[in-house]
Amino acid sequence: MKIVILQTDIVRVDPASNICRAESILDKYDKVDLFILPEMFSTGYCVNPDGMKGNAINYETLEWMKTAAKKRECAIAGSVICKEEGRFYNRFYFVHPEGIVEYYDKKHLFTYGGENNHFTAGNKRVVVNYKGVRFLLQVCYDLRFPVWSRNHGDYDVAVYVASWPSTRVDAWSLLLKARAVENQCYVIGVNRVGKAPNCDYSGGSAVISPYGKVVAECEDNKACEAVVELDMSELEEFRMKFPVLNDADSFEIV
């Protein structure tokens, strides 16, 4: 499976500009199975969306994702500010080529930054099956909570879209590798670059193998992309040869 991750520099609260930038990047690539964009890629990370046109932002961005996916016969994924029945959600969309939309609402809201005061947390873990590959959808702060992403043999790739600041980028890189090793899966981390009112972003977007090794990455502090081709047969062979998940502790999330 050919995947392109987009480490973008986001224009704050300007969906039209950010979508235009993303469109120009997609046009650079042929025969891609999946494009992945960062957290809140059409607006930039915002913990207080009150006053923003959440319904319009969500509709405009999602419609673009559906149109772009159909046009290129690929899937497109990324997180968007969504307002539904008066509540805001940090919603990670996975749009299939034929227009089917699946989504995950961020479970762990960033209380340190006040995200929990304005957004509603999701309560459902979501695994998307696309072309025979099972993707676990996660958003940013979820990365710090390994119980939520524990592999029960139900996914092959964990995808984290993020707005992870430069001051904590070492933790980002370390935790991406930890999640890959402990869950015996590929991990894809897609972060942004650039400046925002309260922090800077240096990227660190990468694809990690089940061995904890970086197999593709974006250049730090630069809006760019990385391309990777994942071989599921190699993953299956590794799991059969070294079946550590069979010895994992059993538990239920309540």
Question: Is residue 2 flagged as an active site residue?
Answer: no
Residue pair 229/175 in contact (Cβ under 8 Å)? The answer is: no
β 127-130/34-36 pair status: unpaired
The DSSP line for 13-48 is T-HHHHHHHHHHHHTT-SS-SEEE--TTTTT---S-
Of the candidates 46, 83, 102, 106, the residue annotated as catalytic is 106
Q: Of the candidates 6, 7, 5, 4, which has an alpha carbon nearest to the alpha carbon of residue 33?
A: 4
Question: Is residue 82 flagged as an active site residue?
Answer: no
Question: Is residue 53 flagged as an active site residue?
Answer: no
E strand or H helix that includes residue 200: strand 200-202
Distance CA 254, CA 113 (A): 25
Q: Of the candidates 186, 102, 100, 133, which has an alpha carbon nearest to the alpha carbon of residue 1?
A: 133
Separation of first and last alpha carbons in the chain: 34
Of the candidates 46, 74, 82, 140, the residue annotated as catalytic is 140
Cα 10 → chain centroid: 15
The two counts, helices (H) then strands (E), for the chain are 4, 14
Residues with catalytic function: 39, 106, 140
